[in-house]
Chains A and B, each alone.
Chain A
Amino acid sequence: MYVVNSETGEKHLVRITQIDTVELARINRTKRFDFNWNKEKHFEVFKLVVGEDVNPVGLLSLGERPDDFALEIRLIASSKDNIGKQNGYARIAGCLISFACMKAFKAGYGGFVCLKPKTALEQHYISTCGFESTNLYLVTEGTNSLRLIKEYYGKQ
């Protein structure tokens, strides 16, 4: 899995690991990310780091719904220096979404992942990630989740 340096086009391998509440609070204090991530401490939170760097460039909060056989993406944020086409790394949110899809397969949910989009962005999630729209949620599962995994976990 890799992100792309927007300036040079270079690909950089990334790792995604779960973080605990202590690390979450520490990251929150750095103010490198939008939103108050301490609010996510009751959910599974993951960080995306580039290479051997310890500072994350992306964060993901996942809500597991075992009774519904689903994972819900509650929140994703790239660090503030990685927002926009001219800055930092591209593909951060895509990597985190495909990670959620992989996790949803491993949990036996058939790759079912959903999120509640901002209305203005709904069509863009559909066109870039292949989500399907329902009344409230955008959903990916099965073949589309597999496609996202292949796209983002594919060889560098």
Chain B
Amino acid sequence: MESNKENRGIQETDFSKYSPEELVDAFVFPADRNMTAKQKIDESDFWAARREKFANRTVVQRIHSNLLQLKFQLEDYIASDQYKEKLTFGYFLYEYVSRQEKKDKEFANEVDVTPAVLSQYINGHRKPKDEFIIRLELHSNGMIPAISWYKVIQKDKEHEIATNLNLRREESKHVKNHLKFAY
């Protein structure tokens, strides 16, 4: 492979010194964007085929893809420092159920809870127990581990503790002689 010299004064590496393996481990080279008429047609055909394939995914492929999307979005969220009011345990549980294209009743049966309890989890009216998040892990065949579900619950809890003014007011009745040091 020939070495290049950028016309803007960037001295490029002599790529010919390296093996293909070394180059693949270090680069994806810029593509030549000046295409022939034939290449333009090929490119247009390529993208048309891509759109068609995407539109014609099987149900299983679509569900798998949607669940992986959810898994990575959930992992992103628990790794971030941000709290988003919408992204509760209930939200992710709702997404987990709906992306499988299942009715709540059907899913509730699969994880051995009543539809009413599932609804309470989804709407944030009941805190999930460890047993339930373990069931979710088992149900997803490990795709979304229990620990990930736990971290979402923990994030909800952290926000609740950090922002609960009523509880602070209530508990202040039980605190005497508090420290007055600056910090």
Taking Cβ atoms with an 8 Å cutoff, the residues of A that contact B are 28, 31, 34-36, 38, 65, 67-70, 73-78, 80, 82-85, 90-94, 97, 102, 105-112, 115-118, 120-121, 123-125, 128-129, 134-137, 142, 146
Contacts and interface: CB of A to CB of B under 8 A. Distances in A.
A106 B76 contact: yes
A82 B10 contact: no
Contacts of B76: 106
Interface string B53-66: 01001000100111
A136 B61 contact: no
Contacts of B43: 136
Given A93-B24, A105-B68, A120 B1 contact: yes
The range of chain B's interface size is 35 or more
B65 A108 contact: yes
B181 interface: no
A45 to B, nearest CB: 13
Contact of B23 (A74, A102, A112, A121): A121
Nearest to A94: B25
B18 A84 contact: yes
Nearest to B65: A110
17 contacts: A31-B10, A34-B10, A68-B54, A69-B51, A74-B30, A78-B25, A83-B13, A83-B26, A93-B27, A108-B65, A110-B54, A110-B65, A110-B68, A116-B31, A120-B1, A121-B24, A124-B21
B49 to A, nearest CB: 8
A67 B32 CA distance: 22
B12 interface: yes
A42 B43 CA distance: 21
B10 A136 contact: no
B120 interface: no
B42 interface: yes
A76 B25 contact: no
B28 A73 contact: yes
Contacts of A112: 50, 54
**Which 8 A-B pairs rank lowest in CB-CB distance, beginning with the nearest?**
A116-B31, A78-B26, A76-B28, A110-B65, A124-B24, A124-B20, A69-B54, A83-B26
B69 interface: yes
Contacts of A123: 20
Contacts of B183: none
Given A106-B72, A124-B20, A92 B26 contact: yes
A45 B50 CA distance: 24
